[in-house]
Amino acid sequence: MSRNYYIAGNWKMHKTRSEAAELAKALAAQLKDGKHRYLAAPSFTLLETVAPILKGTNIRLGAQNCAAEEQGAHTGEVSVLQLKDLGVQTVILGHSERRHVYREDDALINKKVKLALSHGFEVILCIGELLEEREAGKAEQVCEVQTVKGLDGVSAADLDRVVLAYEPVWAIGTGKTATPEDADAIHGFVRRVIARLYGPAAAEKIIIQYGGSVKPENAAALMAKENIDGALVGGAALKAETFVPIAKFG
Ligand code: 13P
């Protein structure tokens, strides 16, 4: 397989500045010789602390969201210009917590995707079905709609800076991981959706991460699957002891 593995840590709403600095330093030191691509995505308030620690390392700096507008009267929002100013390279968009807790819809997510890409960011676009959608046999349909709508208007050239993350909502923070076979089936399906939209070469190239209770114990089995190209890690990304073994699987 020619795709490089890409292991990302989504720190969600955890850590103070000193805790974040400690984790970033540990990751920088322990992943120095890591073979894969890496990213850490701390909260907005931690970016300025973490940026200088990751600068010049093999760990990219990510944000967990951005506003859909460039700037203006948007109380409580954070702009791509502000993220760029801090040295952020990647923005995670459409995370299930944004979709389901904060009611972000595909149109809003698509607007953010296009804005972030237009400012040169890499985007990790998250997709994934709810438990009831999976039980109703709609997992593929949900992932297809989120992919197609999320990427609406994204050019083939810009797709080079898009990573997809399949995060079945029922597997996030629950300790329930999708089996490698079930995850791979959705990844393969989504890759075929990309092939339909952008052609087979783009589909072969695009990185599709899996997220949802990835742990040191299950990472290698997931990554061994043909269509799983990395991980978006939540809980296990909060400690170097659990993130580093995932990041150095294999
Ligand atoms: P957990 O690894 O805690 O299940 O979280 C996954 C996730 O949502 C990463 O974005």
pLDDT tens column, 168-211: 999 998 888 889 999 999 999 999 999 999 999 999 999 999 99
- Is 216 among the domain residues? yes
- Is 1 among the domain residues? no
Confidence of residue 91 (pLDDT cuts 50, 70, 90): very high
Residue 171 near residue 212 (C-beta atoms within 8 A): yes
Indicate left, alpha or beta for 212 from its phi (over 0: left) and psi (-120 to 50: alpha): left
Residue 116 near residue 86 (C-beta atoms within 8 A): no
- Total domain count, the chain: 1
The domain that contains 62 carries what CATH number?
Answer: 3.20.20.70
- Look up the domain containing 116 and give its range: 6-240
The first and second tokens of residue 131, run together, are 């438990």
What is the structure's pLDDT at 20? 99
- Is 249 among the domain residues? no
Q: How many residues does the chain have?
A: 250
Q: Which residues contact 118 (CB under 8 A, 6 or more apart)?
A: none
Question: What's the pTM value of the predicted model, to 2 decimals?
Answer: 0.98
Confidence of residue 141 (pLDDT cuts 50, 70, 90): very high
- Is 98 among the domain residues? yes
In this structure, the residues whose C-beta lies within 6 A of any atom of ligand 1 are: 10, 95, 167, 172-173, 211-214, 232-236
Of 167, 208, 215, 218, the residue with max ligand 1 atoms within 8 A of its CB, to mutate for a pocket test, comes to 167
What is the chain's alpha carbon radius of gyration, rounded to the nearest angstrom? 17
What's the gap in Å between 235 CA and the centre of ligand 1?
6
- Is 248 among the domain residues? no
- Is 125 among the domain residues? yes
Residue 71 scores a pLDDT above 70: yes
Residue 214 scores a pLDDT above 80: yes
Q: Which residue is closest in CA terms to ligand 1's atom 7?
A: 234
- Measure Cα distances from 119 to 16, 126, 161 in Å: 28, 19, 11
Residue 127 scores a pLDDT above 60: yes
- Is 188 among the domain residues? yes
Residue 241 scores a pLDDT above 60: yes
Would you call 167 a catalytic residue per the annotation? Answer: yes
What's the gap in Å between 73 CA and the centre of ligand 1?
31
- Is 22 among the domain residues? yes
What's the gap in Å between 211 CA and the centre of ligand 1?
6
